[in-house]
Structure 1
Amino acid sequence: MYLSKYIVVTGGVVSSIGKGISSASIGRILRSYGVDVTAIKIDPYLNWDSGTLNPYQHGEVFVTEDGMETDLDLGHYERFLDVNLSGESNITTGKVYSSVIKKERKGSYLGSCVQIIPHITDEIKSMVRKIANETQAEVVMVEVGGTVGDIESQPFLEALRQLRNEEGPENVMFVHVTYVPYLRAAGEFKTKPTQHSTKELRSTGITPDVIICRSELPIDNHLKEKIAHFCDVDVKAVVNAPDAHSIYEVPLNLNRENVGDYILKRLKMEARKPDLYEWSRIVDSLKKDDFKVTVGIVGKYVELEDAYISIRESLKHAAAHHGVKVDIEWIKAEESLNPDRIRDVDALLIPGGFGERGISGKLDAVRHSIENQIPLFGICLGMQCMVIEFARMNGFEGANSTEFNENAKHPVIDIMLEQKQIKNMGGTMRLGAYPCKLKEGTLAHEAYKEDLVSERHRHRYEFNNDYRQLLEDKGLVISGTSPDNFLVEIVELPDHPWFLGCQFHPEFKSRPNNAHPIFRSFIKAAIDKKKAKNV
């Protein structure tokens, strides 16, 4: 069995405090020391995965290479650590209990009364250790979702407490992320929430080794000393993480607080010289704003940006690659596309989604792009809308997807053959990485500069091959297909500045240090469009 070190990240005071970014940032810092790092996200909800959760409640569903629908924090981990994580890196209460019940049904417990302790906690430890053994990582970041004190997280905290005892205190450490509010009326920061949160954590038998204090503004050393005194930690272990302009600045901010050195010493790991130069260069490139382009995202869940977090970050990566800044105009798909609202938009993007709500707005965006020669990027459902509207504009009146109209006159988008007999909704779509063959002389081929690529999918419906030749005769270009040429993966229009739709989700593979090729091409088209307008 491989011996990894574990860094457990918990949160207190309020939810959405930034545990995921803190965990990813610590991982990034350790990577700069040459440490091999992987990550785990524990979600205490009973769902087996994130696939059927409402984006308004949970944000984006992130898809891994192996086809698991996971929490959006795995996207942060992949982007910050520049690694591909497996679906097993997202542990939920549903997965844990499901595994235990299966074992109980097989008689694995030899007639024992199955209980939270030891059976559930043992299963949690087994899942965590499995990731460590499979990845052979030197350090495993383990983020516990929710807030300390939640009933749902108690078995996980107990399991991780046991893990520390079993692996040894030099191999397991705890980082607690809390909130230090600033009361403007009183003109001072308040440490009581952090004190109470740490006390709650200690009541579970866990004493934090590091406390990361999230705050709107930087806190001073006097405040750090106060927190260290009342929370019984080393003053050097009280780390401030004030609000940053960009999430990518957080590793640099934490590094200035010497987090890496402290952790390496605490875990008795070899001290190495850190190198965050490349990451600093990425942050600098993301700050450039001499030239700005505006991308309008026509989506169903635009009230909650986290529903499109990977798309947002991919646009930023691509803009930084070109040395420009991207401003995003969030456009509700349910509303008619207001020409005044998008007058200054340099490009449009239609993201994925499910259901009929908002489809009319997405179709309006396709028509507007074609009629006004605005660069348009469609992803998953976005690509399907591009096909539907193109068909309608070229004589196929009543063209639609059978997802919205089972009796459509021209079902140019139809449910995949293998999906027709499926009744259960969770984890049954076409998920994960699949190869895509590119056609030479197309936007896609020019962007990738490869003949065969691999991209991640999450869909049930597809381009209906019955209309393939008919729509190609009208000018639609099929620039990407499955290797057997059966599934349509990418569509384009040749007589357009930039019109590309893909059935897969390229946003899941973009990195701040390696922007996705299609996003780079899309932003370049937006730059060209803006420059042409300013001539």
Structure 2
Amino acid sequence: MKYVLILGGVISGIGKGVIASSTGLLLKTLGLRVTAIKIDPYVNVDAGTMNPIEHGEVFVLNDGAEVDLDLGNYERFLDITLTRDNNITSGKLFQSVIEKERRGDFLGQNVQNMPHVTDTIQNWVERVAKIPVDQSGQEPDICIIELGGTIGDFDSSLYIEALRQFQHRVGRENFVVVQVSLVPVLGVVGEQKSKPTQATVRQLRGLGLKPDLIACRCSQALDPRVKAKVSTYCHVALEQVLSVQDVSSTYKIPLLLKEQGVLNYLRKRLQLDTLHISPRYFETGEALFRDWKALTETHASLKKTVTIALVGKYTFLQDAYLSVTQALEHASIACERKLTIKWVEAANLELETKESNSGKYHEAWEDIFTAQGILVPGGFGHRGTEGKIAVVKWARENKIPYLGICLGLQVAVIEFARNVCGLKGANSEELDPETNHKVVIYMPEVSRTHLGGTMRLGLRPTKFQDGSESWSKIHKYYESDERTLITARKFLDIHKENRINGTTENGIKYNTRITSNGIRVFGNGTTQMALNGNHHHHLFTEDFVISSTTATETSIKPMENVYSSKTVIEERHRHRYEVNPEIVERLEAQGLMFVGRDETGNRMEILELKDHPFFVAVQYHPEYLSRPLKPVPTFFGFIQASAAFQGYQKLIPCHYESTFNS
């Protein structure tokens, strides 16, 4: 196993995540299997309860882990699927050590930061680095490790020491250190200054780690004289000093690094040529590089634009919606459109803002009126929700493409209930507990006293409703998406629960028979069988599903008779509220159709408005699964509809207040 450690100096937020992802992508173009680990020194167990305005978005993984946004960068760039253990936090680390101490695993020793905590860090990295993260199911060749924060932070000292020891454990030929540092330009002098980089490299060397590559972040390409100075004073060769200047798109960073010989250096330093790479993987890597280069060229040459109004409550920090903006960009490139995002603070759309600051109010609505599409992303809390509801009304009445995500679905339901169904004061239980019409309610299984890790999280199945294929636009987009072709066979608890009852003897005999015929057997999340009793089991093959109550020959039916593989999708969730099932029939009677529901059929996942160019809202978060080369159907459909929309040029709104009429 080879390891590449990425850490930063001078300031935080310098772009370590993008450089880590780009380095991993380059290594993947060699045909190598790459994984990634993010270390966050904060004591929080996960990122789930952090303020998006301060920390950025919370990214959710398949297993339901709420993690740092950099893991989203890894998954998007490397097209891999990570787990909760790929994100190490001090909260998780101390929790693990204390649990071991309580069990007596340390055999009465005096438990200390060194060696017990530092050893735990090293063991964690070594264990997680071997976990398969791609469809090959094979152990990765290289692990990218990113250490959050800045060199010299007190919180990261334990991790620096652990990684200092780790380089000797795995051997110099298997361990590379990349230090990302800032090269600022002082306005008074107007020249690039290398002293901050010299200081942070000196500090890192004093802690026992020597940088092999120094990535200099700068606004313009690194001046050759400054590069020579960094090389001289930081004790590295010129080829080990990289210029990572600001570029028009993060997609160009891998190409920028490759042009400076990063791959050639890593091949020599890590002895990558000694790894036995399958010709098939090598060809895949070459194809990946060609596709990525074509992506950057396409992105740079786009002329036609598409303008999207993103209406949120955390717009002060755009990283709070990083996955959303990335998904919009992926879809825009696929539609050959240059993306323009108008950031609209939801609270500025409300009448209270007009009274206190009419300039912000009119400016916000002007952005809405001139947008080709409107997107309302997820969020929590009361602030700005009335503005979002007003925007939904505008999009619905004026046939403007609309996409709602999580809270965006909930405000769409509230608006429709108020203004179409006549339920005056309809609201969410979160926003107005006293309302007579609770159209959005708490999910019964969600804790109301604890926030961390208590929501509906992770990868969940959604089934399109029968009949929706004849008219639903979003159904058609998913139907043409390659991911839906295999989804149905991956889920056990879909469409309905099936019971298989019988004696142990008959069960074992039947199990043997179907196994000998190549039929895969699943049961309650494992590959073990227990056909007797009242356990729920589902037996799937590529073409058949056992769905009757007895294990007999006649119980095997073609899967297509149960459901089409194209009607089931899998998406990642992060929410604690749901549409009230009691109101669904009334909403659908007026044309707001819930075309997608969960595996039980009782939880609403996708809504769509009939007779509208594109009015779709989803309870899950499709943005988490978007990739630069594989845009998700939800965003692709939204951008395609928005790019075709020209009606806003004919709309001349005379009274902003009309959007608030109930």
1:272-299, Cα deviation, whole Å (9 max, x unpaired): 9873221111112222432111100110
- TM-score, normalised on structure 2? 0.78
Distance 1:284 1:416 in 2: 46
Where in structure 2 are the equivalents of 1:121-136 lying within 5 Å? Answer: 121-135=118-132, 136=139
Letter in 1 for 2:223: D
Pair 1:82-2:79 in alignment: yes
Pair 1:254-2:260 in alignment: no
Match of 2:145, SS state, is strand
Change (3 A) 1:292 1:308: same
Give the corresponding residue for 2:474: 444
Distance 1:16 1:305 in 2: 13
Give the corresponding residue for 1:513: 629
Match of 2:348, SS state, is coil
Give the corresponding residue for 1:305: 318
Pair 1:460-2:580 in alignment: no
Distance 2:99 2:42 in 1: 19
Query: In the comparison of the two structures, how many residue pairs are matched?
Result: 531
Please tell me whether the aligned partners of residues 288 and 324 of structure 1 are also in contact (alpha carbons under 8 angstroms): no
Structure 2: tracts of 5 or more residues without a match: 133-138, 351-361, 480-565, 652-662
**Aligned-pair CA distance for 1:405:** 1.4
Please tell me whether the aligned partners of residues 369 and 648 of structure 2 are also in contact (alpha carbons under 8 angstroms): no
**Aligned-pair CA distance for 1:532:** 8.5
Compute the RMSD of aligned alpha carbons.
Answer: 1.6
Pair 1:487-2:603 in alignment: yes
Letter in 1 for 2:165: Q
Give the corresponding residue for 2:238: 235
- TM-score, normalised on structure 1? 0.97
Where in structure 2 are the equivalents of 1:272-421 lying within 5 Å? Answer: 275=286, 276-336=289-349, 338=362, 339-393=365-419, 394-419=421-446, 421=447
Q: 2:51 aligns with which of 23, 48, 54?
A: 54
**Aligned-pair CA distance for 1:531:** 7.7
Distance 1:103 1:311 in 2: 39
Distance 1:228 1:408 in 2: 67
Give the corresponding residue for 1:424: 450
Of structures 1 and 2, the larger Rg is shown by 2
Please tell me whether the aligned partners of residues 370 and 649 of structure 2 are also in contact (alpha carbons under 8 angstroms): no
Match of 1:48, SS state, is coil
Distance 1:261 1:239 in 2: 13
Distance 1:473 1:342 in 2: 29
Give the corresponding residue for 1:202: 205
1:404-443, Cα deviation, whole Å (9 max, x unpaired): 1122211110001111x55221011000000011132312
Give the corresponding residue for 1:160: 163
1:31-60, Cα deviation, whole Å (9 max, x unpaired): 111111111110000000000000011000
Distance 1:32 1:53 in 2: 35
Percent identical pairs in the alignment equals: 43
**Aligned-pair CA distance for 1:209:** 0.8
Pair 1:117-2:110 in alignment: no
Please tell me whether the aligned partners of residues 48 and 58 of structure 2 are also in contact (alpha carbons under 8 angstroms): yes
Q: 2:88 aligns with which of 82, 86, 91?
A: 91
Give the corresponding residue for 1:476: 592
**Aligned-pair CA distance for 1:183:** 2.5
1:369-398, Cα deviation, whole Å (9 max, x unpaired): 112111110000110000010000121111
Distance 2:168 2:90 in 1: 22
Letter in 2 for 1:48: V
> Which segments of structure 1 move beyond 4 Å, counting only runs of 4 or more?
271-274, 531-535
Give the corresponding residue for 2:520: none
Deviates more, 1:283-292 or 1:124-133: 283-292
1:108-142, Cα deviation, whole Å (9 max, x unpaired): 11111111101111111111111112222110000
Match of 2:180, SS state, is strand
Letter in 2 for 1:451: T
Distance 2:460 2:585 in 1: 24
Distance 1:166 1:341 in 2: 56
Distance 2:302 2:423 in 1: 44
